[in-house]
Amino acid sequence: MRFFPELAIFCCGQPRMSSIFESQGVISKQRRMATLFPDAVSAAAAELADAGAKPISREAACRLLRADDGLLPSLLSAAQRARARFKPGVITYSRKVFLPLTNLCRDYCGYCTFRRDPGAAGAHTMTPDEVMEVVRAGERMGCTEALFSLGDKPELLFPQMRDTLRRLGYKSTLHYLEAMCEKVLRESSLLPHPNPGLMSAEWLERLSRVAPSLGLMLETTSTRLLAKNAAHDNAPDKEPAKRLRVIEDAGRLKIPFTTGILIGVGETREERVDSLLAIRDLHEKYGHIQEVIVQNFRAKPGTPMADWPEPDRGEMLRTLAVARLLLPEMNIQAPPNLSDPHYADLLDGGINDWGGVSPLTPDFINPEKPWPHLQELQQRTEAKRFELRQRLPVYPEFAEQAAAHSDLLAGRLSSAADTEGYAQKKRAA
C-alpha cells in the first residue's frame, strides 16, 4: 500500500485522497465547509458562553472544530470550566509496564510500526518468563499496571504463530493472554490491562475475570478509511462496526472499558465528532467507558503514511476541548509523549488524565517517542496548578464494577487501592 500526498486535498483541515471522493461528489461541499464565516464564528462564540454545563450539540462541535485560532482561547476556557465541574484540581496517570505479548498481527495499518510478519526483524512473542521478568522489575519501580498490547489474532494468518502457541501450550493468542493476565494477577502486585483487539462477548467475559479493565481504540467511525490507499486499507479488524460491537458487548457485561479516537489519519472533523458521539452514546446506555483517549497521529518512517501531515498543536487542542465539551462527565486522556516537548499544553484542552506512563519500558507502539520522566511529569502538572495522582488501571469510580467479575479481582483491587480508590503510595525499591 502506498500513499500519494500529491493527490491530497484539505477538507475541513484534514488531508484526504481526492481519488476516493471524486466519485462521491463531496469535494466541493467539503471545500465550502472548510471556511468558517463570521456568522458561524458568532454562533460558536455564543455556544461557548453556556458550554460545559451540559454536552454541546453535534452542530456546535463541528463549528468549534472549524474555528480559527482567534476563538481558541475561549474554546479552551470553556473546556477548562467543564473539567473543573467534573474533577477539579487533580490530574491522574497510571504507572505501568508495557508488555508487547506479541507483535505479530494480521492487520496492516498505514501508520503502524508495531506489527511484524513472522521472520521480520524484531518479530517476537514473549514467553511467560519474559513477561514476569518485566513485571517484577516494574514492581520494584512502583508500577501498578501491566499493559498487554498485541497484534490482532495473528494465528489466523500465520502458521508460525500457531506453532508458537502450540509450543507454549495454548489454543489461541487470547488463551495465552488470559493465562498471562492471571499469572500477573496471582504472582505480582500489578493489575493487568489487556488491549487484544477484537473479541467476542465470551472472551470479554473471560478476560474481565483476570483484568479489572480492558481496552480497544475505536479510532474512527469512518468506513472511508477502509478504502484502497486509505489508513485502514488491508486492516479488516479496523472496521468501525466490529469495534463498536466489542465496546457495546463490554457495556452489556458491565466491564470498565478504555477506548478513544485517533486524529489526523484522513478523517474529516465531522467524522471525528461522530466518533466521539458514538462513544458517548454507548456510555450513556451502559455506563462502562472509564476513559476516552484522544491520540494524535505521528508519522513514522518506513510506513505508507510516512509523509502524511501530522495534526498541529492548535488542531490537537481544539479536538481535546471539543471532546471535553461533548463528554463533560467522562475521563479524557491524551498521551504526553506524543506531544513532547509541549505536552503540558494538553492540560489547557480539558483533559484530566495522562494515561499510562512507564519508568521502565518504552512505548512499543511509538518507540521514537519516549515517556516523560515521572518527576518531570509531576513538575509540569503542578506548574499548571494541578495535583498529580497515581491511579490503578481501573479508575476509582469503576473499581466496584470491576471487582464484581471475580473474587480474585476483588481481593487484588482491595489491596492495591487507597481509601479513595487511587493507587496506594509505595516506594520504588
What is the mean predicted confidence (pLDDT) over 286-315?
97
Contacts of range 413-420, beta carbons closer than 8 Å, 24 or more positions apart:
413/191, 413/212, 415/189, 416/144, 416/189, 416/191, 416/392, 417/392, 420/396
Domain range list for the chain:
90-416
Task: State the pLDDT at residue 38.
Answer: 57
In the chain, the percentage of residues whose pLDDT exceeds 70 is: 88
Average pLDDT over all residues of the chain: 91
Are the CB atoms for 135 and 190 separated by under 8 Å?
yes
Residue 426, pLDDT score = 72
The answer on pLDDT for 20 being more than 60 is no
CATH 3.50.30.10 correct for 90-416: no
pLDDT of the residue at 48: 73
Rounded mean pLDDT, 219-233:
97
pLDDT for position 28: 37
Predicted confidence (pLDDT) at residue 94 exceeds the cutoff of 50: yes
Which of the pair, 264 or 19, is modelled with greater confidence? 264
Question: Is there a contact between 402 and 207 (Cβ–Cβ < 8 Å)?
Answer: no
pLDDT exceeding 90 applies to what percent of the chain?
86
> Tens of pLDDT along 194-220?
999 999 999 999 999 999 999 999 999
pLDDT for 321-335, tens place per residue? 999 999 999 999 999
Confidence of residue 21 (pLDDT cuts 50, 70, 90): very low
